[in-house]
Structure formats: C-alpha cells, structure tokens
A and B are shown apart, each in its own frame.
Chain A
Amino acid sequence: MLLHYSLHAPRRGRADIKAFMAAFRASFPDLSFGGTAELIAEGDSVVGRWIGGGTHTGAAFGDMLAGPLPAATGRKMRFSGTTVLKVINGRIVEEVGLDDGVTALLQLGLLRITVAA
C-alpha cells in the first residue's frame, strides 16, 4: 500500500505505514480525524472528506515536509482534507490525500504569512 498525504513524506508498505502512525501519535497523542460528509465511491475509488487534528504534547516530529517540530510545542492543529483511496480485492492499495496544509502549518508555526506590499 502507498500512503501519501501532502503534508508528509509518502510511505510504502505495511511496516512503513505502521511506523508513520506510531511516530505521528507519539508526537500528537490525542490525534483524531473524522468524516465530514458521506463517502463517494465509483469502481475501485473511494473519496473521503474529513476534519481533525491533535495537540503536539509528545515527541519531536520530523515527518512534516515543511519542517521539524521540537518536542512538546503544545501547539494544536485542526484542519480538513480530501482523500482518494483505491481498494482492490477488499484491501486498500493506495491512499492519496490533500491536507489543508496552510491551516495546519500556520497553526503549528511552520509557516508564516508575508504581507505583500
């Protein structure tokens, strides 16, 4: 399986995917996402819309493409996204998601707004 979200480095295979989620939850222990609308399915594809996030009370986090977080910044992220999954023979082979990265990274202090003249 390929797991690829816009905020994160892509992951491939079960071991890599388990490592991703273990590290994500070690940094954000209250991490939680939920659906905001019914799933949309056609053929092998399923589309989900979601919102969620967590509080960075745990370990340092190095998996955001935008930059690393030192341990326990206390910052909260809450953002939405849209994910397209491909399901073959009852298993997920691909999960490709677009995060509202601007919202998440501003909240985490990894991005700043530059006021244009």
Chain B
Amino acid sequence: MTAQDMQRRNLLRWAGTGAVATAAGVVGLTGQAQAAPRASTDPRQTAREQANKAIVGRWFDGFWGPTYDPAIVEALAAPDMLLQYSLHVPRRGRTDIRAFMKDFRASFPDLAFAGTAPLIAQGDLVVGRWLGGGTHTGAAFSDFLLGSLPAATGRKMHFSGTTVLRLAGGRIVEEIGLDDGVTALTQLGLVAPIRA
C-alpha cells in the first residue's frame, strides 16, 4: 500500500518522517493530520507513555507497514518478545519473529497494515487499531491456525484488528492482537459460511 493509497483510505502512518506526535497528539505524518480521527491524548500522560507510543509507531510502520526492515526487530523487540495474533501460531523471540514476517511476506509480497485511529496508551500498555492485508501471489503459507494455502492462490485479504502491546525498558515485550479472522479467512477461502 503506498502512502497515497493510505491517505485516500483515511489511514494513518504511525510514525515515520519527522512527526511522531504533533502538538495535538495525532500519531502520523503531519501531512495526513487532517485525515486523522480526533486525538485522544491526555495532557496528563507521562513522558514514558508518550515514548511508548513513539516506539509502537515505529514498530507498526517498520514491521507491519508496506516496507519491512528486519533490523527493526533487533532495535525494538525485547529478546524474548511474544508475538501472538488470533489468526497465527504464537511466536517467541527475535529469531522466531523475523521468521514469521519473512514467511508472511514471501507469501503476501504486498503485505501492508496501517493505523485507523490514534494509539491509546496507559502505563506499559499501548493499543493500536489497524487495517490492511495483501495478495497471496507468493509461496504456500501454512502459518494460519485454521488451514494452509497452496502457492499463489491470487486471493486478497483486507481486514481490521486491534492490538495490545506491552513495553518494558523501551522495548516491546508482548504484542497480542485480535484479527477480524472471519473477514480474512473468508476472503482466503479457508472458512465458509453455513446458511441454515
């Protein structure tokens, strides 16, 4: 997904060039501030909470955004980080997490997710809401809990989700997300409705 596509769809880049947080607290590129939902930043928020949101913004852009740099895992993931999304097998540790994303993008080369609302932070926790997906033009994919895809089915998935991340010492310790699996798996042909 290009930056232009994201803007057209009212999506936010989480961090990115220059503007992690504007004065209004909107997380995203300055140029897209008008597309952003109303900021929810509490003025009493601590510096740590603001810093955690900036880290999660960089993570969502660099790990889940249209371009993936594996170095982001070394930079922002705690060594024993847990990555757990409802569609996928849980992963633990940097090597496992890099393997997850390498395989995901080998199967869905145009994979990209982006924010749909400002991040919400309290204490060690940050919550992100997002939308995205990709086209299965690549390798066979066997990381979905409910079924495997043979190579290059050409199917597209586009779905939303909500993720809660826990940080400690400036690194992500836990990322637990709920995918709209009904949408994604129906689009991929891995589940089908039963009509009474």
Contacts and interface: CB of A to CB of B under 8 A. Distances in A.
Interface of A: 6, 37, 40-45, 47, 49, 66-70, 80-82, 84, 98, 100-102, 105-106, 109-117
Interface residues of B, number: 37
A21 B190 CA distance: 31
Nearest to A68: B196
B30 interface: no
B86 A116 contact: no
Contacts of A114: 147, 189-192
Contact of B149 (A40, A45, A102, A116): A116
A113 B191 contact: yes
A115 B53 CA distance: 40
A81 B194 CA distance: 22
A101 B159 CA distance: 13
B32 interface: no
Contacts of A43: 39-42, 120
Given A67-B194, A67-B195, A42 B41 contact: yes
24 contacts: A37-B164, A40-B122, A43-B39, A43-B41, A43-B42, A47-B127, A47-B164, A67-B193, A67-B196, A68-B196, A70-B196, A80-B178, A82-B164, A84-B117, A98-B180, A101-B180, A101-B181, A102-B86, A102-B146, A102-B191, A105-B182, A114-B147, A116-B147, A116-B149
Residue from B86, B120, B125 having most chain A Cβ neighbours under 10 A: B120
B182 A111 contact: yes
Given A68-B196, A98-B161, A45 B180 contact: no
A67 B195 CA distance: 6
B7 interface: no
B139 interface: no
Which 6 pairs, one residue from A and one from B, show the smallest C-beta to C-beta distance? A43-B40, A101-B182, A102-B181, A82-B162, A43-B42, A42-B120
B78 to A, nearest CB: 19
A79 to B, nearest CB: 10
